[in-house]
Amino acid sequence: MNRIVERFAKLKRENKKAFVVYIGAGDPNLEATRQLALAFDRAGVDVLELGVPFSDPLADGLVNQLAAQRGLESGTTPPKLLETVAAIRRESQIPIVFYIYFNLIHKVGMEQFIADAVKAGVDGLLVLDLPPEESDNYEAQMAKAGLCNIYLIAPTTPEARMEKIVKRGAGFIYYISREGVTGMQTKVASNLTEQVAKIRAHTALPIAVGFGISNPEQAREVAKEADGCVVGSAVVNQIAQLGKSPELVSKLGAFVKSLADAVKSI
């Protein structure tokens, strides 16, 4: 069974919520990405999202744009990132999702990219700029390979379209709790309960909520409403501040554990 599907099923049996972390791959370098993945696994992270560095990350706010730039500067490419995933797999079975722009897949060829991802040990893809309406071939190849194609739902998604999108997803649905690009916020979106209920009416897939969650209190608040909580920019921001410090992995591990513990306390 796919690791993402397996993890959410296990959490459901245990009546627990999922904690998902996003980082920019190769920030500050791929060895740090490998070490962080292992530290996050120990800290209680259920799914790791790796942002594949891209020169035009249009869905990302400044914090994650800068992470993508640092990833590119450290020489991170999709083939090198796949090698890093394979290295992580030698020590950990943490579910891994690539947060990726379609151009990077198209350049290699969809079938080849998916095959390479499976071989390395990737569990799912979240393609930011591939609309579900144009995804028939992609979805078929992902299903055949046993990978989860994860889709985004936004606060502005009309309910009729939401219904169509969730029927095509696999693994979990990622609900973006705010309009606009990624980034830290001071409080959780006020209409979260209502929006999650609306999505739940159309799918049995777990719903993970992200965009803007920056501390344990917010993570706990989101986990009460959803099946999972996604934290990205707050973690990426700490990576930016710590840079190549020898304390990067230990400090990030401790920060992420505080968030994971909050989510698991529900």
How far is residue 134's CA from residue 18's CA, in Å, rounded to a whole number? Answer: 29
User: Does 49 participate in catalysis according to the annotation?
Assistant: yes
CA distances from 137 to 1, 98, 120 (A): 22, 18, 22
Q: Which residues of 148-162 are buried (b: 16+ CB within 10 A; e: fewer)?
A: bbbbbbbeebeeeeb
User: Is the torsion defined by CA of 98, 48, 55, 166 positive or negative?
Assistant: positive
> What is the DSSP secondary structure assignment for residue 175, as one 8-state letter?
E
Q: Which residues of 101-132 are buried (b: 16+ CB within 10 A; e: fewer)?
A: bbebbeeeeeeebbebbeebbbbbbbbeebeb
Q: Which tokens is 61 given?
A: 């706010």
**Length of the chain as a residue count:** 266
Contact 152, 176 (CB under 8 A): yes
User: Does 56 participate in catalysis according to the annotation?
Assistant: no
Annotated catalytic residue, options 41, 49, 221, 227? 49
**What residue has token string 């501040």?**
241
Q: Which tokens is 145 given?
A: 């390979």
Annotated catalytic residue, options 60, 123, 221, 227? 60
In terms of Cβ atoms closer than 10 Å to its own Cβ (0-12, 13-18, 19+), residue 198 is: middle
- Detail the DSSP E strand segments found in the chain: 18-24, 47-51, 96-100, 124-127, 148-149, 151-153, 173-176, 207-210, 228-231
Catalytic residue positions?
Answer: 49, 60
